[in-house]
Amino acid sequence: MTESTISNTVECDVLAANSYKQMIDYLENILTRQLEKVRNYDLDGAMSLAEEANSL
């Protein structure tokens, strides 16, 4: 391998590692938002609406 090839390989490895980190950050953000929605979900209100809709 030449020095240029090694340098390109290292750059590709760094880019791949950064890409994986960005994907993990993105997925963690989505999961956090979804968990917050679940925590704030009004199950009693939803059941009331479902019962009302069922009678229609």
Provide CB contacts within 8 A for 9, sequence distance 6+. Answer: 1
Residue-level pLDDT at 25: 94
Residue span of the structural domain in which 24 resides: 3-55
Could you give the CA distance from residue 46 to residue 16 in angstroms, rounded to a whole number? 44
The pTM of this model reads: 0.55
Per-residue pLDDT of the chain (56 residues; tens, 9 = 90+): 555 665 667 788 888 888 889 999 999 999 999 999 999 988 888 899 999 998 87
Please tell me the total count of domains within the chain. Answer: 1
DSSP state string for 9-48: HHHHHHHHHHHHHHHHHHHHHHHHHHHHHHHH--HHHHHH
